[in-house]
C-alpha cells in the first residue's frame, strides 16, 4: 500500500511539474506568435513557436492527456506547414494560432481541475477543423521556389520506416516511461510490427526493478518525415539509442545497423531472422551481414563487404546520412558527457529547482519567528549584562539577518514576466478598437515579492486597458492633433528609496480636469464652489463608480474598476499617483514596498506605545523644532499637524501623540524623525528613539483595518506588540489641504 501511495505522490508531483512547464511553454508560444505577426520571415522565431507547441504535446502525451495532445497536434501541423514553406504567414494564420494557444491553456486548466467540459471539446473540434482547412486552402508562400531536392528532403516518401530502439539502464530512474514514447508513435503513423527483445532482460534473481532493459524493433508506416519521428523521442535522447531507417534505406544501411546492434554471430543471426519476420526484405547473404571482425579480409569490391566498408561507402555517397550515423555512434559518449555535466553542476538542471510556494511561505514564517526569538535573546543578554552572552546573541543576530535576506531573496521574482503578458493584451485590444499602439517595456528585471507580483497583475491590467480605451486616440484623431498615427504605451519599473515604482505611461489625450470636476459636482462628490488643485482633481477618478466616458463599451465606461485598483494597491501598503498633461498623455505611478514579510525597521515610542517605521524611509532625526511646539488656537493644545523650517525647506509634520490621542508625555526631550517617500518628505514627532529593529510584519485585525496611518503590527523581543506606521498614508495626511466645499468622509482614528 505504501508503495502505491508513493507512486501516486510521484505521479501527482510530476503532473504539477508538467502543468508548470506547460504554462512556461505557452508564454513562449504566445511571444513567438506575436513576433511572427510583426516579422513573418523570422525562421528562428517560427522554430521557437514549433518547439513550444511540440514540447507541450510531447509532455501531455507522456501523461495520457489525449485532448491536449490531439488539439496541439493540429496547431503543430500548421506550424510545420509554415516551416516547410507550404503555407505563408499572414494575419489569418497568426490570429488562428493565437486562438489555438488560448484553447490549449483552457485544456490544461481542465487537466488541472480534473473536470471535463463538453463545450470545450466542441471548441477543440471546431478550431481543429479550422486549422486543417487553413492548411488545405492556404496559398503557398511567395518566396523563392523550393527545389525538387529540397522538397524531397522535407517530405519523406510514403512508406515504412524501421526503428531500432534501446533504452539506457537509467531511463526509469530518470522518470521516463518507455511505453509512453512508443504509444506516441500513433500520432505520426501506424505501427505495423513491433517486437520486444526479451533476451535483454536478465534472470529474475538478477533483475533490478529500477533498471531498464527495454529494446524494441518497430516497423512504422508513416507519411511524416524522419525528423518528425525523431521528435517523438526528443525527450529521451539522453537515455536511449535510437536508429531510424527510412523507407528508401539501402542494404548497406541495414548492414551498418546490424553491426551496431548484433556484436556476435549468434546475435546477428537472431536479429536478421527477427527482421525477416517483421517484413524486412534484404538482398543480403548471411556472411554479408556478419560483424566486421568475421569478414575483415574480404576484397573491397566484393558484394560481401563488411558492414564497416559499406558504411564508409555510404558516408561518401550520402554525407547527411553519415552525419546521422556518426551522431548515433557518439550517442553513448554524449550521454556520458551530459551526466558528467549534471554531476559537476554545470547544467541547467543543477542550477534550478522547483519549490512549492506554500513551502517557501512556511520558510519565511519560520525565519520571522527566528527574528523575533533573536530579538528576545538580545534583550535577555542586555538584561543579564553578560559579555559572553551578549557576544553570542549578536552573532546569532547576524546569522539570522543573513538567513532572513537569503530567504526573502528566494521569493523575489522579476516583474518582466507580468509585463510580457501585456503584449497580447495590447495586440487584442488594438484589434478590437482599431488603434495602432506600440508597447515599450523597460525594467523587466526589477524584482519584487512574488505574492505582490500576483496581486498587482489585475490593477496593471485595468490601467493598461484604460490607457488603450480612454487615453490613446485613434489614428485619425492623433494625426489631426499633430501626433504620429501610432500611439505609444510604456510599462516601466525601477527601484527607488527602498520601494519599487511601476509606471504606466501613454502619449494620449490626457485627463480632462474640467470634465472630471464637472462630473464630480454632478455626482455630489464635490461642492460647486470647491477649489481643488490638479492632484486632487486627478484623484477623483478613483471614487467608486466614477466615469467620464460618454458611452459604455466592452472594455470600460461603467466606472467599475479604478476604485478597486486603488484599494488593491493600498492593501499592499502602496499608493498610486497620477501625472497628466491634457493633450500630451498620462502617467500612472504605483509605488510598492519590496516585500510584505520582514523589513528593517526604526523603533520609536509615543505615549508608552511602540511604533516602527521602515528604516529605508528614515532620512534623519532632529530635535523638535520650535514651530512644532507652538500651541494651536485658544485652547492651548499642541497642533496635530503643521509645517516647519528644515534648513530653508518648508516641510509638513504630524505629531503622533496628538494624532493617535495618546496621553501627553511627561516633560522631556522629544524628537522629530524626517521620513521620505520618493520626492516628498514629512516630519513625525515622537517621544523616544530606540534605533534599528528587525521587523516581522503581522497583518492588522479586521477591526483595525480602517485606522489611518497604520500598515500592520510586529512583536518585539519582549513579547510586546508594536505598531508599524504607514509612512505614505501619514505623508498624505500631512500634505492634504481639504478644499473649500470638498466633501470628505470622517476618518476613523485610534482612541
Q: In which residue are the cell numbers 543578554 written?
A: 381
Q: Assign 141 a pLDDT band (cuts: 50, 70, 90).
A: very low
Q: Residue 724: what pLDDT?
A: 87
Mean pLDDT over 380-390 rounds to 85
Partner residues linked to 219 by β-bridges: 162, 193
Mean pLDDT over 251-255 rounds to 83
Phi, psi of 485 (to 5 degrees): -65, -30
Question: What is the per-residue pLDDT across 80-129, written as a single tens digit (0 to 9) for each?
Answer: 888 888 888 888 888 899 999 999 999 998 888 888 888 888 888 899 88
Q: In the predicted model, is pLDDT for residue 314 greater than 80?
A: no
> Which strands make up the sheet holding 585-593, listed edge to edge?
437-442, 487-496, 499-506, 585-593, 575-581
The closest alpha carbon to 750, from 718, 721, 707, 712, belongs to: 707
Q: In the predicted model, is pLDDT for residue 328 greater than 60?
A: no
Q: Assign 7 a pLDDT band (cuts: 50, 70, 90).
A: low
Mean pLDDT check: name the lowest of 303-317, 554-568, 705-719: 303-317
Mean pLDDT over 213-219 rounds to 89
Q: In the predicted model, is pLDDT for residue 748 greater than 70?
A: no
Instruction: Give the dihedral sign, CA 263/266/272/275.
Output: negative
Q: Exposure string (b/e) for 1-17, b if CB count within 10 Å is 16 or more?
A: eeeeeeeeeeeeeeeee
Residues with Cβ within 8 Å of 749's Cβ and at least 6 positions away in sequence, in order, are: 659, 660, 661, 707, 708
The closest alpha carbon to 405, from 613, 595, 574, belongs to: 595
Residue 98: other Cβ atoms inside 10 A: 19
Q: Residue 624: what pLDDT?
A: 87
Residues with Cβ within 8 Å of 29's Cβ and at least 6 positions away in sequence, in order, are: 49, 52, 53, 56, 101, 104
Q: In the predicted model, is pLDDT for residue 69 greater than 70?
A: yes
Nearest 10 degrees: Cα torsion 266, 272, 278, 280? 180
Residues above pLDDT 90, as percent of the chain: 7
Is residue 488 within a helix (H) or strand (E), and if so which, with residue range?
strand 487-496
Question: What is the per-residue pLDDT across 438-451, written as a single tens digit (0 to 9) for each?
Answer: 999 999 888 888 87
Distance CA 537, CA 529 (A): 14
Enter the pTM of the model. 0.61
C-alpha cell recorded at residue 500: 519599487
Mean pLDDT check: name the lowest of 315-324, 357-366, 719-728: 315-324
Q: Assign 666 a pLDDT band (cuts: 50, 70, 90).
A: low
- DSSP SS3 for 713: strand
Q: Residue 274: what pLDDT?
A: 83
Partner residues linked to 517 by β-bridges: none
Q: In the predicted model, is pLDDT for residue 260 greater than 90?
A: no
Is residue 100 within a helix (H) or strand (E), and if so which, with residue range?
helix 91-113
Helices (H), 346-483: 348-351, 357-384, 387-410, 416-433, 450-466, 475-480
Distance CA 123, CA 131 (A): 12
Q: In the predicted model, is pLDDT for residue 505 greater than 90?
A: yes
Q: In the predicted model, is pLDDT for residue 305 greater than 70?
A: no
Distance CA 740, CA 528 (A): 10
Distance CA 467, CA 588 (A): 10
Partner residues linked to 641 by β-bridges: 654
Q: Is 85 exposed, middle or buried (0-12, 13-18, 19+ CB in 10 A)?
A: middle
Tell me how far the alpha carbon of residue 597 is from its chain's centroid: 21
Q: Assign 361 a pLDDT band (cuts: 50, 70, 90).
A: confident
- DSSP SS3 for 738: coil
Q: Residue 336: what pLDDT?
A: 46
Q: Residue 541: what pLDDT?
A: 85
Q: Residue 292: what pLDDT?
A: 37
C-alpha cell recorded at residue 209: 526493478
Does residue 694 contact residue 375 with C-beta atoms inside 8 Å? yes
Residues with Cβ within 8 Å of 177's Cβ and at least 6 positions away in sequence, in order, are: 62
Does residue 411 contact residue 364 with C-beta atoms inside 8 Å? yes
Q: Where are the beta strands (DSSP E) in 98-146?
A: none
Nearest 10 degrees: Cα torsion 264, 270, 272, 275? -140
C-alpha cell recorded at residue 282: 534484404
- DSSP SS3 for 76: helix
Q: In the predicted model, is pLDDT for residue 506 greater than 90?
A: yes
Distance CA 182, CA 171 (A): 14
Distance CA 274, CA 254 (A): 13
Mean pLDDT check: name the lowest of 32-36, 149-153, 662-666: 149-153
Partner residues linked to 194 by β-bridges: 218
- Cα 74 to Cα 24, 126, 127, 181, 558: the distances in Å are 20, 11, 9, 19, 40
The closest alpha carbon to 424, from 391, 465, 467, belongs to: 465
Q: Assign 77 a pLDDT band (cuts: 50, 70, 90).
A: confident
Distance CA 294, CA 287 (A): 8
Q: In the predicted model, is pLDDT for residue 581 greater than 70?
A: yes
Distance CA 519, CA 546 (A): 8
Q: In which residue are the cell numbers 534583550 written?
A: 379
C-alpha cell recorded at residue 736: 492634504
Q: Residue 636: what pLDDT?
A: 52
Q: Residue 489: what pLDDT?
A: 93
Q: In the predicted model, is pLDDT for residue 229 greater than 60?
A: yes
- Cα 537 to Cα 184, 322, 534: the distances in Å are 63, 75, 5
Which is higher by pLDDT, 543 or 10? 543
Q: In the predicted model, is pLDDT for residue 144 greater than 50?
A: no
Q: In the predicted model, is pLDDT for residue 490 greater than 90?
A: yes
Helices (H), 411-492: 416-433, 450-466, 475-480
Does residue 487 contact residue 436 with C-beta atoms inside 8 Å? yes
Q: In the predicted model, is pLDDT for residue 591 greater than 70?
A: yes
How high is the mean pLDDT of the chain?
A: 77
Nearest 10 degrees: Cα torsion 97, 99, 101, 102? 180
Is residue 290 within a helix (H) or strand (E), and if so which, with residue range?
none
Instruction: Give the dihedral sign, CA 732/734/740/745.
Output: positive
Amino acid at each position: 500500500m505504501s508503495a502505491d501511495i508513493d507512486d501516486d505522490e510521484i505521479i501527482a508531483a510530476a503532473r504539477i511539474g508538467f502543468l508548470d512547464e506547460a504554462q512556461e511553454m505557452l508564454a513562449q508560444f504566445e511571444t513567438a506568435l506575436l513576433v511572427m505577426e510583426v516579422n513573418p520571415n523570422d525562421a528562428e522565431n517560427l522554430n521557437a513557436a514549433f518547439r513550444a507547441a511540440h514540447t507541450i504535446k510531447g509532455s501531455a502525451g507522456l501523461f495520457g492527456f489525449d485532448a491536449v495532445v490531439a488539439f496541439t497536434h493540429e496547431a503543430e501541423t500548421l506550424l510545420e506547414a509554415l516551416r516547410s514553406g507550404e503555407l505563408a504567414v499572414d494575419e489569418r494564420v497568426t490570429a488562428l494560432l493565437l486562438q489555438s494557444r488560448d484553447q490549449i491553456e483552457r485544456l490544461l486548466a481542465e487537466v488541472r481541475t480534473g473536470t471535463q467540459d463538453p463545450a470545450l471539446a466542441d471548441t477543440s473540434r471546431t478550431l481543429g477543423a479550422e486549422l486543417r482547412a487553413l492548411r488545405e486552402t492556404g496559398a503557398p508562400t511567395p518566396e523563392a521556389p523550393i527545389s525538387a531536392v529540397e522538397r524531397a528532403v522535407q517530405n519523406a516518401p510514403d512508406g515504412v520506416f524501421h526503428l531500432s530502439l534501446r533504452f539506457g539502464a537509467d531511463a526509469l530512474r530518470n522518470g521516463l516511461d518507455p511505453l509512453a514514447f512508443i504509444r506516441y508513435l500513433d500520432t505520426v503513423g501506424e505501427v505495423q510490427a513491433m517486437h520486444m527483445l526479451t533476451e535483454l532482460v536478465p534472470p529474475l534473481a538478477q533483475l533490478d526493478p529500477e533498471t531498464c532493459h527495454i529494446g524494441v524493433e518497430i516497423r512504422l508506416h508513416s507519411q511524416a518525415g524522419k525528423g518528425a519521428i525523431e521528435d517523438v523521442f526528443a525527450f529521451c535522447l539522453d537515455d536511449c539509442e535510437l536508429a531510424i531507417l527510412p523507407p528508401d534505406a539501402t542494404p548497406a544501411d541495414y548492414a551498418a545497423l546490424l553491426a551496431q546492434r548484433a556484436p556476435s554471430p549468434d546475435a546477428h543471426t537472431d536479429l536478421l531472422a527477427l527482421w525477416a519476420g517483421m517484413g524486412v526484405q534484404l538482398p543480403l547473404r548471411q556472411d554479408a551481414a556478419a560483424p566486421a571482425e568475421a569478414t575483415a579480409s574480404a576484397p573491397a569490391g566484393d558484394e560481401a563487404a563488411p558492414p564497416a566498408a559499406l558504411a564508409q561507402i555510404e558516408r561518401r555517397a550520402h554525407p547527411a546520412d553519415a552525419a546521422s550515423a556518426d551522431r548515433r555512434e557518439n550517442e553513448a559518449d554524449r550521454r556520458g558527457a551530459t551526466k558528467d555535466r549534471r554531476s559537476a553542476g554545470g547544467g541547467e538542471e543543477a542550477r534550478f529547482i522547483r519549490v512549492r510556494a506554500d513551502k517557501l511561505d512556511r520558510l519565511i514564517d519560520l525565519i520571522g519567528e527566528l527574528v523575533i526569538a533573536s530579538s528576545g535573546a538580545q534583550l535577555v543578554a542586555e538584561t543579564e549584562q553578560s559579555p559572553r552572552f551578549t557576544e553570542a546573541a549578536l552573532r546569532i543576530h547576524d546569522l539570522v539577518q543573513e538567513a532572513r535576506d537569503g530567504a526573502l531573496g528566494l521569493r523575489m521574482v522579476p516583474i518582466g514576466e507580468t509585463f510580457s503578458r501585456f503584449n497580447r493584451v495590447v495586440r487584442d485590444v488594438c484589434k478590437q478598437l482599431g488603434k495602432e499602439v506600440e508597447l515599450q517595456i523597460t525594467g523587466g528585471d526589477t524584482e519584487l515579492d512574488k505574492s505582490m507580483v500576483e496581486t498587482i497583475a489585475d490593477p496593471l491590467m485595468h490601467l493598461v486597458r484604460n490607457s488603450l480605451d480612454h487615453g490613446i486616440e485613434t489614428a485619425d484623431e492623433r494625426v489631426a492633433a499633430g501626433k504620429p498615427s501610432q500611439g505609444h504605451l510604456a510599462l516601466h519599473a525601477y527601484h527607488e528609496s527602498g520601494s519599487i515604482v511601476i509606471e504606466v505611461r501613454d502619449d494620449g489625450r490626457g485627463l480632462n480636469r474640467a470634465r472630471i470636476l464637472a462630473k464630480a459636482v454632478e455626482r455630489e462628490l464635490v461642492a460647486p464652489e470647491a477649489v481643488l488643485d490638479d492632484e486632487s482633481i486627478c484623484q477623483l477618478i478613483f471614487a467608486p463608480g466614477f466615469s467620464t466616458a460618454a458611452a459604455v463599451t466592452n472594455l470600460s465606461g461603467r466606472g467599475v474598476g479604478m476604485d478597486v485598483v486603488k484599494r488593491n494597491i493600498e492593501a499592499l501598503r502602496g499608493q498610486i499617483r497620477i501625472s497628466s498633461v491634457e493633450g500630451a498623455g498620462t502617467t500612472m505611478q504605483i509605488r510598492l514596498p519590496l516585500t510584505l514579510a520582514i523589513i528593517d525597521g526604526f523603533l520609536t515610542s509615543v505615549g508608552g506605545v511602540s511604533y516602527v517605521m521602515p528604516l529605508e524611509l528614515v532620512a534623519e532625526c532632529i530635535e523638535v523644532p520650535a514651530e512644532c511646539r507652538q500651541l494651536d488656537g485658544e485652547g492651548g493644545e499642541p497642533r496635530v499637524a503643521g509645517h516647519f523650517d528644515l534648513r530653508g525647506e518648508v516641510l509638513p509634520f504630524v505629531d503622533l501623540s496628538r494624532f493617535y490621542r495618546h496621553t501627553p508625555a511627561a516633560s522631556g526631550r522629544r524628537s522629530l524623525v524626517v521620513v521620505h517617500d520618493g520626492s516628498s518628505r514629512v516630519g513625525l514627532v515622537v517621544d523616544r528613539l530606540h534605533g534599528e529593529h528587525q521587523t516581522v510584519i503581522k497583518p492588522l485585525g479586521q477591526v483595525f483595518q480602517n485606522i489611518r496611518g497604520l500598515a500592520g503590527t510586529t512583536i518585539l523581543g519582549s513579547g510586546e506588540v508594536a505598531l508599524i506606521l504607514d509612512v505614505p498614508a501619514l505623508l498624505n495626511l500631512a500634505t492634504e489641504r481639504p478644499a473649500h466645499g470638498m466633501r470628505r468622509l470622517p476618518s476613523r482614528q485610534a482612541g
